[in-house]
Amino acid sequence: MSEPQWSTPAQPVAGWYADPDRAGFLRYWDGASWTEHSRLLVASTEEQAEPKHRLGLAAVLGIIASVALLGVALVAIAFVAQREEMEQDATPQPAAVVTADTSPAASS
């Protein structure tokens, strides 16, 4: 039987990492050890800026269209109601017809 092969733990890849000796700085790791290269840690402007809550153009146009449609519907409802009321007022009401019975009474 062969002996088990133990793998060595993987080292972090080369790159800029938080400096273990100085807070607020980055230090370059070459894949095996720390180098003498370091730089000040600067947060990106995206991280510093407060999140913006913007509505997209489509959302704004949708809201405007919805309000306009609601306004048109309300005007149409008011117009129909007023027209029906005017038609009722314009329709002549039948007057009471009083007729005098002038025909001779039938005798039996």
Q: What would the DSSP string read from start to end of 15-51?
A: EEEE-SSSTTEEEEE-SSSEEEEEEE----HHHHSPP
Full-prediction pTM beyond 0.75?
no
Name the DSSP class of 45. H
pLDDT digits (tens, 9 = 90+) for 58-93: 888 999 999 999 999 999 999 999 988 888 777 666
pLDDT of residue 59: 87
Question: Can you tell me the mean pLDDT for 8-33?
Answer: 86
Which residue has tokens 């002549």?
92
d(CA 108, CA 106): 6
- DSSP bridge pairs for 25: 40
| Domain assignments of the chain as residue spans, ordered by start | 10-44, 55-89
